């Protein structure tokens, strides 16, 4: 594993709260493949990632080519940790998010705390 991928894996493991979770593997792989991502879309889970990417393909978009990475975060309550990694204090990429309506307040609070 090269050094850049090792750093991405470590950051995502920290944000996800530990090693071994499928979300860690998926997010680390995305980061390793798309280190030039200018925009990161944070989604609650793997199924949200798959759905969003399928919709983009259906509408003729190649997210990777457009500099967009969709990153599953393993649930809305981890938003703050992922914002630390990707927000103004971290990689400082453009951020977007997708969550269930019931989790919107959690996402908004995380964004406000991160200054995003």
> What does the mean pLDDT of the chain come to?
78
Which domain, by its residues, includes 39?
Answer: 3-114
Which of 21, 2, 3, 1 is CA-nearest to residue 82? 21
- The pLDDT of residue 116 is 60
Q: pLDDT class for 88, splitting at 50, 70, 90?
A: confident
What pTM did the predictor assign?
Answer: 0.73
Closest CA to 16 of 63, 78, 80: 78
Residues 6+ apart with CB under 8 A from 59: none
Q: How many domains does the chain have?
A: 1
pLDDT tens for 34-85 read 556 788 899 998 899 899 999 999 999 998 888 888 888 888 888 888 888 7
Query: Residue 73 and residue 95: Cα distance in Å, rounded?
Result: 13
């Amino acid at each position: 594993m090269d050094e850049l991928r090792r750093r991405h894996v470590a950051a995502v493991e920290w944000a996800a709260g530990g090693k071994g979770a499928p979300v860690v593997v998926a997010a680390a792989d995305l980061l390793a493949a798309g280190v030039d991502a200018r925009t990161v879309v944070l989604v609650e889970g793997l199924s949200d990632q798959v759905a969003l990417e399928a919709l983009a393909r259906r509408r003729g978009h190649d997210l990777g080519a457009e500099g967009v990475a969709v990153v599953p975060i393993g649930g809305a309550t981890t938003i703050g940790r992922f914002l630390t990694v990707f927000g103004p204090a971290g990689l400082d990429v453009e951020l977007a998010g997708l969550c269930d309506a019931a989790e919107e307040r959690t996402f908004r609070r995380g964004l406000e705390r991160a200054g995003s």
